[in-house]
Chains A and B, each alone.
Chain A
Amino acid sequence: MASAAAEFSGVSKAFTARGDAPAIENFDLRIEEGEFVCLLGPSGCGKTTALTLLAGFDRPSSGSVLHRGRPVAGPAADRGVVFQGDDSLMPWLTATENLLLGPRIRRVPLGEQRAIAERLLALVGLVGHGDKYPRELSGGMKQRIQIARVLANEPDMLLMDEPFAALDAQTRTHMQDELVRIWSEARPAVLFITHDVHEALILADRVVVMRAGPRSAVRTAFNVEAPRPRDRSDPRIAAAYGEIQRVMAEEFRRARQ
């Protein structure tokens, strides 16, 4: 069998310093090359923990996390992370400088850097805003810069931790459409965390629902067959929404107990 873009097998992660029960236990998940997977679940169910392990920011307590068949040894440019808030942008750098940080780290020649910046600013719709500092950009624009700075490294995998959670509904819808468009061009594998069922259905090839934590793992998964770009009123989306919402409601109830 060809190696997957990413594969969690029997992964557990306990934060020993806190002495709590493991956040995730026996967590299994396989993400194929080019596949868009949304991870859904009630807050505190270990979604971010799983993403953090695949990003290489942290190590599993047991089990294995593979990226393209090789164990994750640490963070690297082939797995781009889009963080939840906007605090990961460097406030002392302009939008362009922020998105060129990866190429700068790889010592890409300056001429090429200019071309990368131009192409990506156009791709994320920020032409004319390159010289602004993060504090001068709206929330949606800052998340575009985050996406652009990750794409500048041409990762084969995108790890997105509720990247649109802080945006207003209008901007969020727009960003979802933009993300689908960008993803269709570069086709990286995506692990996208959200607690918004609608968002998952608009974006994902497969929606994976986690159980309430602690000791969380995958509860069930749904394939989304509707073609892209998806219409939010598509009856197939509406039907899947009802089904996933029912499972989610159960897990939310369990999370409260």
Chain B
Amino acid sequence: MIRARFVEMVLPYLLSVAIMLGLWQLAATQVNPLFFPRLETVWRSFWSLASGDLGAQILVSLARILAGFGIASLAAVPIGLLMGTVPAVHRLLGGPVDFFRFIPPIAMIVLAVAWFGASDVAIVFLIGFSTIFIVTINTEAGVLHVVRNRIRAAQMMGAGFWQVFWLVVLPSAIPHALIGMRIAMGAAFSTIVSAEMIAGDYGLGYLLQEARTTLRTGNIFVGIVLLGMLGIMTDRVFRFLIDRFGGEHAGSR
């Protein structure tokens, strides 16, 4: 019983990690180690970085992501709810949202630095820029996909506009907003690196930039692995929240 569970639930994960590491090592033996260092080199780079301020670098990057992502989400959810509920607001903001969401945050880096200097503000702005439009359109989609009979059911039980909003529209839209935030978190992770490369003096993106100029490929690999792992961790948090808050009617289950 326990063994069957192990084979089904745990083994595939271990296997995928083992295969990735195996392919890595295989590739590393074929290529100039300067471009593709072996596992043990990266492991040594990790420890030498970890004995320095690697933990602080990670925390700075995470704090910037959380700040930009948090502020943008707090703004995006009400905006998306309004756009979905009030057609005039959709007509007012739909165009700008669609316009800006096709501009990659990287294109805004130079402007952000010009406006806010090479500072935390510039980086947080860029993270927010990469988050806000994704969360907005997903929240709006959540409102627009509310099942019509649920609204009618609340109405025939005597609910007015605001009661329909609180009792039906909001609970229906929350899973979609969370899905938007999950996607936006991916965008925030890709933005943090480029933003810190140019505007940062600290953080994982800065670490990668510094490793590039000093040709320490081992450090680059450490940064990449860390980004992937941090990404998986935050994604798990969102998957948990989506499951917890009614993922079954947003199609995630």
Digitize A69-84: 1 where CB-to-B-CB distance is under 8 Å, 0 elsewhere.
0000011110111010
Q: A92-B171, A92-B246 are in contact. Are A105 and B154 (CB under 8 A)?
A: yes
CA distance A55 to B171 in the complex (A): 24
Q: Name the residue among A74, A83, A89, A92 with the largest chain B CB count within 10 angstroms.
A: A92
Q: A92-B246, A92-B249, A105-B163 are in contact. Are A77 and B156 (CB under 8 A)?
A: yes
Count CB-based A-B contacts (< 8 Å): 69
User: Of B149, B150, B157, B246, which is within 8 A of A105 by CB?
Assistant: B157
Residues of B147-171 at the interface with A, using a CB-CB cut-off of 8 Å, are: 147, 149-150, 152-159, 163, 167-168, 171
Q: A90-B171, A92-B171 are in contact. Are A77 and B149 (CB under 8 A)?
A: no
Digitize B118-161: 1 where CB-to-A-CB distance is under 8 Å, 0 elsewhere.
00000000000000000000000000000101101111111100
Residues of B19-34 at the interface with A, using a CB-CB cut-off of 8 Å, are: none
User: Of B150, B155, B157, which is within 8 A of A74 by CB?
Assistant: B155
A90 touches B150 (CB 8 A): yes
User: Of A74, A76, A83, A92, which is within 8 A of B153 by CB?
Assistant: A83
Q: How many residues of chain B are within 8 Å of chain A by beta carbon? A: 19
Tell me the interface secondary structure of chain B in the complex.
helix
CA distance A181 to B195 in the complex (A): 69
Is A88 engaged at the interface, CB distance under 8 Å to the other chain? yes
CA distance A80 to B168 in the complex (A): 18
B156 touches A79 (CB 8 A): yes
17 residue pairs A–B, Cβ–Cβ below 8 Å = A76-B156, A76-B158, A80-B156, A81-B153, A87-B150, A88-B147, A88-B152, A90-B150, A91-B246, A91-B249, A101-B153, A101-B154, A105-B157, A149-B157, A150-B156, A150-B157, A153-B157
Q: Which residues of B contact A (CB under 8 A)?
A: 147, 149-150, 152-159, 163, 167-168, 171, 245-246, 248-249
The 9 closest A-B pairs by CB, nearest first: A88-B149, A77-B158, A102-B157, A75-B155, A88-B153, A92-B246, A75-B156, A81-B156, A91-B249
Q: Which residues of A contact B (CB under 8 A)?
A: 55-57, 74-77, 79-81, 83, 85, 87-92, 101-102, 104-106, 135, 149-150, 153
